[in-house]
Amino acid sequence: MRLTFSLSLFAAAALQPAFGSTNVVSLKPRTRTNSLLISPAALPALPSAQQAASASADVGLNLTDIQGDILIGMKKNKELFFFFTIVNSTLFRSQLGSGILPLITPTSQLLAVDTQPTTAVNVAFSQRGLNALGITDDLGDSSFANGQIDNVATILGDETSNWEPVFAGSGIHGVFLLASDTIDNVNATLSQVQNLLNGSITEVYSLQGQARPGDEQGHEHFGFMDGISNPAITGFSTPLPGQQVLDLGLFLLGESGDPVVSRPAWTKDGSFMAFRQLQQRVPEFNKFLVDNALSNPNLTADQNAELLGARMMGRWKSGAPVDLTPIVDDPVLAADPQRNNDFNYTHSGFDIDTDQTHCPFSAHLRKTNPRAGLTPEDTANHIIRAGIPYGPEVTDAESAANVSSTDPTLERGLAFVTYQSDIANGFAFLQQFWANNANFPGAKATPPGVDPIIGTDGLGQADVSRNPSGLDPNDSTKIITIDQDFVVSRGGEYFFSPSLSAIQNTLALNVA
Ligand code: HEM
């Protein structure tokens, strides 16, 4: 159902402060009484507006100029990804500055309920989109310039036959990200955006994400709490115990630590966004766990199946890390952000290079961030994960058959989003060199195998088995063959999410 947007939406837009001001206190109260973000106990809380204002002032960061999705993480309740082609560049550019820019939600605005808009709006552009706008600058990222399709074969290992055709084509110029607490709000704001753009764009694809219902809120579709271990970022968040503190420049262009020294000035405080539509075959995953359940004599069959899943992921479904609680779940630990990320795979009297009794080397969590398993600890290959589940819950019929339905309306998965200042060092690196690399981490007696959740053989071939070792705590050399994909890439694209001032001064057409 499409609703006409409410007066409060207009009012909210009208009350927005000029970006470029660091005075978040001047934001006017809105009609919102409940947050558009979710906040399960396990996830790190966002800084308050005052905390963030003070941390950002210390490093000269302007949170009113940075699009809100970049630093917020996996906290959206409902989020629509609306992919578009620009069909009238001049009209689009003029409407971008006058109509759309006041709707774009900066970070500062999301930190308190009473400053949040009805629907948060962000926008990001592909290289083709920038070309369509007449922007010819080199942004200093060849993955972005060439598009995700160029990464498919050797880097991501996707089978393009599974891709939504739109991602393999040339029609995606940009994406609007519309986030709210209800889909009606999202749809109303989409109508507003489309009206403002007045036919200058056409929709080429869209994907509606939503947090899972009830107690599953914050959990991805396999059932695991997600979004706990995003890094703390200098100038924004205060680190929790165990949370790695990383330079702003790993995520925001032109900030301290950006690996690319020379970029066009207007790209400062923008970020590259990697989008992936990752289908999850949940009934098949559940069946695999039952069929290959571990054999701890003190656990029931169900618990042994659950233990296998926890060891494949590196966390229990509750979010408790297996490194801290290796045999049984600990929901109290899981719900405590002071403790649930406070581990690095070291234990006294324990050889981190050989001992997998707590956490397998092949666990998704450990493959994508080995923490103290690398010396020195890696500080270059990190991402902010900001995705959201999409698709409905598993139906009774699918559960009974242990097979995902082929009905496209029942497809479910993760609308996977990461932000980084260098895609080849961020998302693409993690997928290629760690997840898809059976020999990472290296120098092990038995190769760990590829990531049992997201790893592929790296060649994009169908039906190649994955052979993780270390999943059985009693026999770390035992290999469990996974002869199917639980996560299937349906494609994606790389985007640039510019600062609000870049939208105004470089991307928009400013008619005097
Ligand atoms: C459908 C696909 C995926 C699922 C179901 C999934 C699920 C999860 C879960 C449950 C966690 C633990 C929660 C947390 O610590 O925040 C996690 C952590 C993580 N995932 Fe994924 N993930 C998926 C895809 C990916 C991909 C494609 C990448 C990168 C190539 C990735 C990188 C990470 C990283 C970096 C962490 C945090 C590791 C740490 O800092 O300890 N994930 N994922």
Q: How far is the CA of 473 from the centre of ligand 1 (A)?
A: 22
Rounded to whole angstroms, how far apart are CA atoms 296 and 131?
58
More confident residue, 461 or 499: 499
> Does the pLDDT value for residue 1 go beyond 80?
no
Q: What is the mean pLDDT of residues 469-493?
A: 94
| Count of alpha carbons within 13 angstroms of residue 355, beta-carbon side | 12
- Check pocket membership of 236 for ligand 1, CB cut-off 6 A: no
Predicted pLDDT of residue 11: 35
* 336 Cβ inside 6 Å of ligand 1: no
Please tell me if the CB atom of residue 313 comes closer than 6 angstroms to any atom of ligand 1: yes
Which three-class secondary structure state does DSSP give residue 67? strand
d(CA 212, CA 412): 11
Residue 293 has pLDDT above 50, yes or no: yes
Could you list the active site residues? 226
**For the purposes of burial, counting CB atoms within 10 Å of the CB of 101, is it exposed (0-12), middle (13-18) or buried (19 or more)?**
buried
- Residue 370 main-chain phi, psi, to 5 deg: -70, -5
Q: With a 6 A CB cut-off, is 365 part of the ligand 1 pocket?
A: yes
pLDDT at residue 456, rounded to an integer: 87
Ligand 1 atom having least distance to the Cα of 431: 30
The minimum-distance atom of ligand 1 relative to the CA of 74 is 16
- What's the average model confidence in pLDDT over 431-439? 94
Q: Give the confidence band of 205 by pLDDT, cuts at 50, 70, 90.
A: very high
| Cβ of 500 less than 6 Å from ligand 1 | no
Rounded Cα distance, 364 and 368, in Å: 6
Task: Please give the average per-residue pLDDT across 317-342, as a whole number.
Answer: 98
Inform me whether the pLDDT recorded for 267 exceeds 60.
yes
Q: Is the confidence at residue 463, as pLDDT, over 50?
A: no
232-233/120-125 β-pairing: unpaired
- The mean pLDDT of 184-209, rounded to a whole number, is 98
Mean pLDDT of the chain: 92
* 217 phi/psi in degrees, rounded to 5: -55, 130
Closest atom of ligand 1 to CA, residue 434: 30
- Give distance in angstroms: CA of 509 to centre of ligand 1: 39
In this prediction, residue 492 carries a pLDDT of: 98
pLDDT greater at residue 8 or residue 181? 181
236-262 pLDDT, tens digit each: 999 999 999 999 999 999 999 999 989
pLDDT of residue 459: 54
Least confident residue range of 205-209, 214-218, 442-446, 502-506: 442-446
Helices (H), 140-234: 142-146, 165-168, 183-197
Residue nearest to atom 34 of ligand 1 (CA): 368
The residue with greater pLDDT, 30 or 375, is 375
Share of the chain above pLDDT 90, in %: 89
The predicted structure's pLDDT at residue 187 = 98
Tell me the chain's radius of gyration from C-alpha atoms.
22
Please report, to the nearest 10 degrees, the dihedral formed by the alpha carbons of residues 60, 66, 70, 75 taken in order: 100
Q: Taking a C-beta distance cutoff of 8 angstroms, is the pair 295, 471 a contact?
A: no
Q: What is the pLDDT of residues 102-125, one digit of tens each?
A: 999 999 999 999 999 999 999 999
Whether residue 36 contacts residue 179, with contact meaning beta carbons closer than 8 Å, is answered with yes
Q: Whose CA is nearest to atom 25 of ligand 1?
A: 454
* Beta-sheet pairing, 174-180 with 78-86: antiparallel
Share of the chain above pLDDT 70, in %: 92
* pLDDT at res. 172: 98
Q: Residue 115 C-alpha to ligand 1 middle, in angstroms? A: 30
pLDDT (tens digit per residue) in 8-43: 333 333 334 344 443 333 444 457 899 999 999 999
Looking at residue 465, its pLDDT comes to 64
Distance, in Å, from the CA atom of 93 to the CA atom of 133, rounded to the nearest integer, reads: 7
Cβ–ligand 1 distance for 431 under 6 Å, the answer yes
pLDDT at 191 over 60: yes
Ligand 1: nearest atom to the Cα of 279: 1
pLDDT digits (tens, 9 = 90+) for 140-177: 999 999 999 998 888 999 999 999 999 999 999 999 99
- The pair phi, psi for residue 460, each rounded to 5°, is 70, 20
**Which of 229, 244, 423 is the best mutation target for the ligand 1 pocket, counting ligand atoms within 8 Å of the beta carbon and taking the most?**
229
Minimum-distance ligand 1 atom for the alpha carbon of 435: 30
Mutate to test the pocket of ligand 1, among 226, 243, 275 (most ligand atoms within 8 A of CB): 226
Q: Indicate whether residue 345 lines ligand 1 (CB < 6 A).
A: no
Kindly state the average pLDDT of the residues 167-189. Answer: 98
Ligand 1, atom nearest to 231 Cα = 40
- The closest residue, in CA terms, to atom 11 on ligand 1 is 226
Distance of CA 134 from the midpoint of ligand 1 (Å): 36
Lowest mean pLDDT among 126-130, 291-295, 475-479: 475-479
Question: If you measure from the C-alpha of residue 155 to the centroid of ligand 1, how many angstroms do you get, rounded to a whole number?
Answer: 18
Whether residue 12 has its Cβ less than 6 Å from ligand 1: no
**pLDDT at residue 462 tops 70:** no
Residue-wise DSSP of 191-218: HHHHHHHTTSEEEEEEEEEEPPSGGGTT
Q: What is the mean pLDDT of residues 49-73?
A: 96
228 in ligand 1 pocket by Cβ < 6 Å? yes
Please report the pLDDT score of residue 106 as a whole number: 98
- For residue 202, the one-letter residue type is T
Q: Does the beta carbon of 64 lie inside 6 Å of ligand 1?
A: no
Say how many Å lie between the CA of residue 61 and the centre of ligand 1. 28
Q: Tell me what pLDDT residue 154 has.
A: 81
pLDDT at 378 over 70: yes
